Amino acid sequence: MKTGAITLRGLFWVVCAWLLAAGVSQSAEFERNIMTGGPTGTYIRIGNDIADLGAQCELTLNVVESAGSLENFVGVRKRRNTQFGIVQSDVLEYLKTFEANDSEIQDAVRGVRIMFPLYNEEVHVLARIGLGGIRDLEGQKVAIGVKDSGTFLTASLVLDILQVKAAERLPLNPDQALEKLKAGEIDAFFYVAGAPASLFADADIDPDEFHLLPITEAPLLATYTKAAIPADTYAFQTGPVDLIAVKAVLMTYDYDPAKNAYHRESCTTVSDFSSLVLNGMGQLRETGHPKWTSVDLTALPPGWKVGSCVKAGMALDYAPKCKKAAEAVPADSNEEYLNLLKQRLKN
């Protein structure tokens, strides 16, 4: 486990350096960005739903594709004009584990804050029919996601916790992995995404050749949550599958509006979108991705603080700085959520 941890930590710094270099140039016009995931994932659909709320009052939020959670976390900390990023909670737990004894990680996480907890993401492992469970991946060729994604970290942790030694751990994105699985070049691949994941919903997957592996091993439950994918969620899957899930969390940065104009504009952006999401939960549940129906804004992960700009936007009398009045952002149970959030923030 130690070797795997060092590799993941080193990878964290590679992503930091790349995003810092990418974010040096400043745009003449103030930008708002949310880092999400790949084009077939759930993150990008959640990002689009949030951007739609902003568009209703003419606040443009650019939805940025990325490799996933690790890149998104570092992007919030290092990438200019990036106020939001969606991150898996096991990435947060991983960083917290190493923060206490690592001054570089302490610096990297400084100022990164929770905006809202979102939904559980199921850990999908699509495999050939001959494999019955995670332990059967011993000695197999397994794709574990690209190296700056949350899938990469989750797959690595799951295999390490269970001490499953694959013949090869291949850093492939899910789209590439699916094609290689179909071609017989690999035996299985991990994909962490909120069900229904469009990669599986839209793909032609033969149920006589491939299936989702159950993940029920007790050692994993110290880090992950029990979950299940109901029967017929995907065309190739006729029965329910018990597995594990990890929480997706919307992260931001704790901007200081007294510091400079950039911090001031970014803090206003965070407050505006905090208010829009809080007041727009009814719309998000009705017209957004199905995962919005399971979002609990009070389920804050332990050890992480909520940003001060987020708290400002949660005030009942806060009005987003819209260019026009918001037209379709119903205030469903705003007061209920606000009271619950205040209770959690006191702890």
Mean pLDDT for the stretch of residues 220-229: 91
At 72-82, the pLDDT tens digits run: 998 999 898 99
Residue type at 267 in one-letter notation:
C
Q: Which residue has the higher pLDDT, 33 or 197?
A: 33
The pLDDT of residue 3 is above 80: no
Q: In 268-298, which positions are buried (b, 16+ CB within 10 angstroms) versus exposed (e)? A: bbbbbbbbbbbbbbbbbbeebbebbeebebe
Q: Which of 333, 334, 336 is nearest to 274 (CA)?
A: 334
- Identify the architecture of domain 2-120+248-346 in CATH: 3-Layer(aba) Sandwich (3.40)
Confidence of residue 6 (pLDDT cuts 50, 70, 90): very low
> What percentage of the chain has pLDDT greater than the value 70?
84
The pLDDT of residue 334 is above 90: no
pLDDT of 23 reads 45
Confidence of residue 331 (pLDDT cuts 50, 70, 90): very low
Q: Could you tell me the residue ranges of all domains in the chain?
A: 2-120+248-346, 121-246
Q: Which of 230, 217, 245 is nearest to 123 (CA)?
A: 245
Confidence of residue 29 (pLDDT cuts 50, 70, 90): low
pLDDT of 90 reads 85
pLDDT of 329 reads 44
Q: CATH topology of 2-120+248-346 equal to that of 121-246? A: yes
CB of 128 within 8 A of CB of 188? yes
Dist. CA 85–CA 72, nearest whole Å: 5
Q: Which conformational region is residue 184 in: left (phi greater than 0), alpha (psi within -120 to 50 degrees), or beta?
A: left
Confidence of residue 19 (pLDDT cuts 50, 70, 90): low
Tell me the CATH number for domain 121-246.
Answer: 3.40.190.10
- CB neighbour list of residue 204: distance below 8 Å, 6 or more residues apart: none
pLDDT of 150 reads 87
Q: Which residue has the higher pLDDT, 29 or 53?
A: 53
Q: Which residue has the higher pLDDT, 16 or 237?
A: 237
At 34-51, the pLDDT tens digits run: 999 988 889 999 999 999
Confidence of residue 285 (pLDDT cuts 50, 70, 90): very high
The pLDDT of residue 214 is above 90: yes
Q: Which residue has the higher pLDDT, 58 or 344?
A: 58
Number of Cβ within a 10 Å radius of residue 99: 17
pLDDT of 25 reads 42
Through-space distance between the first and last CA atoms of the chain, rounded to whole angstroms: 33
